[in-house]
Structure 1
Amino acid sequence: MLSRSAFLHGHSAVRAATARTASQLSTNGTRTSFQNIFVQSRNSHYNSKSDDVNARPPVTIPQLRKLYKNKTPISMITAHDYISGMLADRAGVDMVLVGDSLAMVSMGHESTSEIDLNDMVYHTRAVSRGVKSSFLIADLPFGSYETSPEQAFDSAVKMIKKGNAQAVKIEGGKELYPTIKKLTDFGIPVVGHIGLTPQRQNALGGFRVQGKTAKSAVELLENALAIQEAGCFIMIIEAVPDKVGSLITEKLSVPTIGIGAGPGTSGQVLVQLDMLGGFDAFVPKFLKRYSNYLETNVNAIKTYSDEVKSHQFPSTEHTYSITDDEFAKFQDLVAKKGY
């Protein structure tokens, strides 16, 4: 098990990922090849982030460690496109997650398991264009990492190289130890996810609260300890009793981000469209709505449509003008050409 000081000072895999320099990675053939991909991709991404002189400094893993050390809650929110990424970044959240929840809230699928890696890379790249400072994480979707550590490595490289993600998130526990260790050994930051794991909701019997018995809660803790030992630098705990979320957080030496796990975790995450009131097909108990996106925007579009039909839009203030002289010339030319 990692000690708290080991996390705060950084173990070698995560330290290598955050430093982003060639000297911090092994120079054998395979690692050198990935190192070039990782360093070039991140340098390109951060150069683009620095264009806005008014932007916050980029959030880094060491800064997240500092928040954790100081017991400052960490804020995370999802994003699915350029605009939602920009909104999250301008709001000043610490971390932006391109979650596979976008399969439901953005693409209209019935579950998160219907999205594939190419879809996730596409959306992550779009979000990255709007995120200037927040730390950007992307889900590896169902079917993109379970076969082998090698499959997960290939998927993670694609997500970082083409999607501009800074870390990848995978769902599961101790069975993913070899996978997480391979990724972190090669300098890929990994976010874990335990509790309710939506990609496995069929096996779990649907979207159900996890860890409600002593036995199942112990299993959650054991899974958390295992993926921490494998190298996760942070992990999400979803849909567990608040006391269970708090105790698991106390036993770990890395931050936890709760979603339906109570106030005792190191931080919180919500799906952006959920908390804005933009998705009403499924409303979990843990959701707090901070806006009424659907009603506000439906009303706005309806007003626009009504104004079009009643000739109220566009008005003079929304149109371009031409001088009377030029318009008269235009009419003469039309007449002469016989149009």
Structure 2
Amino acid sequence: MSITTQKISRLKGERPIVAVTAYDAAMAHYADAAGVDLILVGDSVGTTQLGFDTTVPVTLDMMLHHAAAVARAKPDALVVADIPFALAHDDFSSILNASRRLMQEGGAQAVKLEGGVLLAPTVERLVAAGIPVLGHIGLLPQQFHQLGGYRKFGRTDLEKDILLKDAQALEEAGCFAIIAEMMDGTLAGTIAAEIGIPLIGIGSGPHCDGQILVCNDLLGMNAGYVPSFVKQYAQIGEQAQAAFAAYAEEVRNRKFPS
């Protein structure tokens, strides 16, 4: 049975939500067959698949391309697509058009926006237009150049107050769930208890209503930096390299084809 945004919201208090990223039909197929609840077509595609150093260069057309690929796998999991860099702060007609295209052309069932209190009015208008929204607070990767890097959020009293208000504003605006990235674990648990919608963590400790990981991270398919909070459940990258090497050796030694 297909998972809806309402089902994701109702899972709060019932059991932890399982979410992962995917960027193509093959990965979406395997994730869905494993029984995940939510597949995020993240703008992390920029750093995991497209060779960029950050998510900033990812465009709407890129997101449409990858969202459509995931949707073609026809997963039962809810498919959510990221609104790429800075679009959420454009005029409302632009963000509405981007969201509409991600749903109509990309096949997404919801969109994700980075930001809190300042974006709540935009979220409210999108929800009123029939576009489900997944919120995103804490570390906002699209602000990499402004932040100067990645760090944990919510360690000071000021940041704790800001993040709680962000979560409450997004819930009031109509988000069906919120992602909390790189947030102090104790604070994440406090916020999860304070709001009535799921708080899905990434690098935010065990007290959230669910967890999300980048598929490349959990599968061991990243040649570079692996975040400290990630658990690698496989080493697909090493296995792939070994397979390529075995193939190359057999071709050079005329063992393949036999």
Normalised by the length of structure 2, the TM-score is: 0.97
Q: Does 1:210 align with 2:142?
A: no
Aligned counterpart for 2:3 among listed residues 50, 56, 59: 59
Matched-pair contact (CA < 8 Å) for 2:80–2:110: yes
Cα distance in 1 for residues equivalent to 2:69 and 2:145? 30
CA RMSD of aligned residues (A): 1.0
Match of 1:193 in 2: 136
Task: Give the match's secondary structure for 1:145.
Answer: helix
Matched-pair contact (CA < 8 Å) for 1:145–1:155: no
Q: State percent identity of aligned pairs.
A: 38
Match of 1:123 in 2: 66
Q: CA deviation at 1:186?
A: 1.0
Q: Does 1:239 align with 2:182?
A: yes
Aligned counterpart for 2:213 among listed residues 267, 270, 279: 270
Matched-pair contact (CA < 8 Å) for 1:121–1:158: yes
Q: Which amino acid aligns with 2:208?
A: T
Matched-pair contact (CA < 8 Å) for 2:9–2:177: no
Q: Does 1:157 align with 2:157?
A: no
Q: Does 1:140 align with 2:86?
A: no
Task: Considering fraction of residues, name the structure with more helix.
Answer: 1
Task: Give the match's secondary structure for 1:130.
Answer: coil
Which consecutive unaligned segments of at least 5 residues does structure 1 have? 1-56, 316-339
Match of 1:110 in 2: 53
Aligned counterpart for 2:28 among listed residues 85, 91, 94: 85
Q: Which amino acid aligns with 1:285?
A: S
Q: Which amino acid aligns with 1:63?
A: K
Match of 1:227 in 2: 170
Q: CA-to-partner distance for each residue in 1:99-123, whole Å, 9 max, x for gaps?
A: 0001010000010011000100010
Task: Give the match's secondary structure for 1:68.
Answer: coil
Cα distance in 2 for residues equivalent to 1:180 and 1:148? 13
Cα distance in 1 for residues equivalent to 2:146 and 2:5? 33
Match of 1:8 in 2: none
Q: Which amino acid aligns with 1:230?
A: A
Between 142-151 and 119-128, report the one with greater CA deviation: 142-151
Q: CA deviation at 1:63?
A: 2.2
Q: Does 1:68 align with 2:17?
A: no
Which consecutive unaligned segments of at least 5 residues does structure 2 have? none
Normalised by the length of structure 1, the TM-score is: 0.75
Matched-pair contact (CA < 8 Å) for 2:181–2:203: yes
Cα distance in 2 for residues equivalent to 1:293 and 1:247? 36
Q: CA-to-partner distance for each residue in 1:60-108, whole Å, 9 max, x for gaps?
A: 22322332142x0000000011111111111110000000001010000
Q: Which amino acid aligns with 1:91?
A: A
Task: Give the match's secondary structure for 1:133.
Answer: coil
Cα distance in 2 for residues equivalent to 1:270 and 1:282? 14
Q: CA deviation at 1:209?
A: 0.8
Q: Which amino acid aligns with 1:73?
A: P
Cα distance in 2 for residues equivalent to 1:184 and 1:307? 56
Of structures 1 and 2, the larger Rg is shown by 1
Aligned counterpart for 2:194 among listed residues 251, 256, 274: 251
Q: Which amino acid aligns with 1:179?
A: T
